[in-house]
């Protein structure tokens, strides 16, 4: 299990991963990365200063831009909406890829029927 510092380190690595996806025009993965980072930050009850550092805020006279720039996150989210990409679809695609790799690692053995129905 990760310690608090390890979780924070991984959380602060997410903007870099987000912008790597954006540079490759992998907008759905970028959106998923930003959404996941925000969910984790809220779940672990990150303090307000760290939330502002990561995601920015509009609560002051001049908006504060975070490591996840609002404009970029909105672009990724809008792309997903326009192309009808959902979080469920992304996670199922990732799951299918993991299963494909698992089958290759296991000498191409048959995948149990319980796994197949989630494709």
- pLDDT tens, position by position, for the chain (119 residues)? 888 899 999 999 999 999 999 999 989 889 999 999 999 999 999 999 999 999 999 888 888 899 999 999 999 999 888 877 776 666 677 777 777 777 776 665 555 544 454 44
> Is residue 30 within 8 Å of residue 22, measured between CB atoms?
yes
Are 81 and 44 found together in one domain?
Answer: yes
Q: Which domain holds residue 95?
A: 86-119
Tokens 């303090």 belong to residue: 47
User: How far is residue 45 from each of residues 48, 70, 85, measured CA to CA in Å?
Assistant: 9, 21, 29
CA dist., res. 111 & res. 108, Å (int): 8
Are 22 and 70 found together in one domain?
Answer: yes
DSSP state, residue 57: B
CA dist., res. 80 & res. 37, Å (int): 17
How many domains in the chain? Answer: 2
Are 41 and 94 found together in one domain?
Answer: no
Are 81 and 91 found together in one domain?
Answer: no
Are 75 and 90 found together in one domain?
Answer: no
Are 49 and 63 found together in one domain?
Answer: yes
């Amino acid at each position: 299990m990760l310690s608090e510092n390890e979780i924070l380190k991984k959380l602060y690595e997410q903007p870099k991963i987000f912008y790597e996806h954006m540079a490759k025009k992998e907008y759905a993965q970028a959106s998923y990365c930003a959404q996941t980072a925000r969910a984790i930050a809220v779940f672990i009850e990150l303090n307000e200063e760290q939330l502002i550092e990561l995601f920015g805020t509009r609560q002051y006279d001049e908006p504060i831009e975070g490591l996840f720039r609002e404009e970029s996150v909105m672009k990724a989210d809008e792309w997903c909406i326009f192309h009808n990409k959902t979080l469920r679809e992304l996670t199922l695609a990732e799951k299918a890829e993991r299963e494909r790799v698992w089958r290759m690692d296991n000498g191409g053995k048959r995948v149990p029927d319980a796994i197949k129905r989630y494709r």
